[in-house]
């Protein structure tokens, strides 16, 4: 069995969830007063939790047919998630909303970054530090068992190539979180950026990397536009 370094800072890790909401057609047929009341309740629950966890809101109405908006939430305790999402489900709007996609993960130090350490190295962070990108590109990620059976030196060599490609696209910022044993995927990756075309070019180039051949699944993929909560709810 290959040696793995002891996990660092377990108590400092954060929990991460990407929850994708779809509002039912019945909601859109309600009268304006009922919809406004439901939106205010939904916003109030989010407001009650922003002092203890990170909550960012994104619209998907222009890019997906099966989800209207997304909440990117980060907390130090799962109890905060329980409180937030239970509260949202019990609002007037929440009762008309489903979550067709949900990805849960935690932060962890990457085992591949020691050769690439520099200030702000994403893989070394146990705390999510989001930027101000106009878009967030999110997808779950699963590698094959053959990948984990490779010698660590071979995996490191392929990840060196992978990391080098990523550094060429300076306008794209990655946030990696880990789901081993916690959810159906192994990783959830979220790329921040202002240019969907730059992200498209990055992903196309990564398809040519050696590490890509060991990918089993990296879908569904979401292009989410950052949007203030008030504006997002108004658009619904």
For the chain, domains (ranges, CATH) are 10-105 (3.30.70.1030), 111-223 (3.30.70.1030)
What is each CA distance from 179 to 123, 125, 192, in whole angstroms? 15, 16, 20
Residues 24-59 have pLDDT tens digits of 999 999 999 999 999 999 999 999 999 999 999 999
C-alpha–C-alpha distance, residues 73 and 226, integer Å: 13
Which pLDDT score is estimated for 68? 98
For residue 73, give the 3-state DSSP assignment: strand
> Distance between CA atoms of 30 and 171, rounded to whole angstroms?
42
Q: For position 113, what pLDDT does the model report?
A: 76
Q: Indicate whether this model's pTM tops 0.75.
A: yes
Q: In whole angstroms, what is the distance from residue 4 CA to residue 108 CA? A: 14
Is residue 139 annotated as part of the catalytic site, yes or no?
yes
Angle at 222 between CA 191 and CA 55, to 5 degrees: 65
What pLDDT score was predicted for residue 127? 86
Q: Which residues of the chain have pLDDT under 50?
A: 1-8, 118-121
> b/e for 148-158, b at 16 or more Cβ within 10 A?
eeeeeeebeeb
The partner residues of 176 in beta bridges, in order of sequence, read 189
155 Cβ neighbours under 8 A, 6+ residues apart: 112, 147, 211
Catalytic residue among 103, 139, 169, 178: 139
């Amino acid at each position: 069995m290959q040696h793995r370094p002891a996990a660092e800072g377990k108590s400092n890790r954060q929990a991460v969830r990407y929850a994708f909401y779809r509002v039912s057609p019945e909601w859109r047929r309600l009268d304006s007063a009922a919809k406004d009341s439901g939106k205010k309740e939904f916003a109030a629950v989010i407001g009650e939790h922003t002092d203890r966890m990170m909550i960012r809101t994104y619209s998907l109405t222009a890019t997906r047919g099966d989800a209207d908006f997304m909440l990117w939430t980060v907390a130090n305790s799962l109890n905060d998630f329980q409180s937030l999402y239970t509260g949202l489900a019990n609002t007037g709007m929440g009762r008309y909303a489903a979550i067709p996609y949900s990805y849960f993960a935690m932060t962890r130090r990457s085992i591949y970054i020691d050769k690439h350490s520099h200030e702000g190295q994403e893989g070394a962070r146990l705390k999510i530090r989001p930027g101000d990108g106009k878009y967030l590109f999110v997808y779950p990620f699963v590698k094959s068992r053959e990948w984990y059976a490779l010698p660590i030196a071979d995996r490191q060599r392929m990840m060196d190539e992978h990391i080098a490609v990523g550094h060429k696209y300076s306008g794209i910022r990655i946030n990696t979180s880990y789901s081993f044993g916690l959810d159906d995927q192994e990783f959830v990756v979220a790329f921040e950026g202002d240019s969907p075309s730059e992200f498209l070019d990055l992903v196309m180039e990564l398809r040519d990397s050696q590490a890509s051949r060991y990918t089993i699944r990296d879908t569904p993929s979401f292009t989410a536009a950052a949007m203030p909560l008030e504006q997002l709810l108004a658009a619904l």
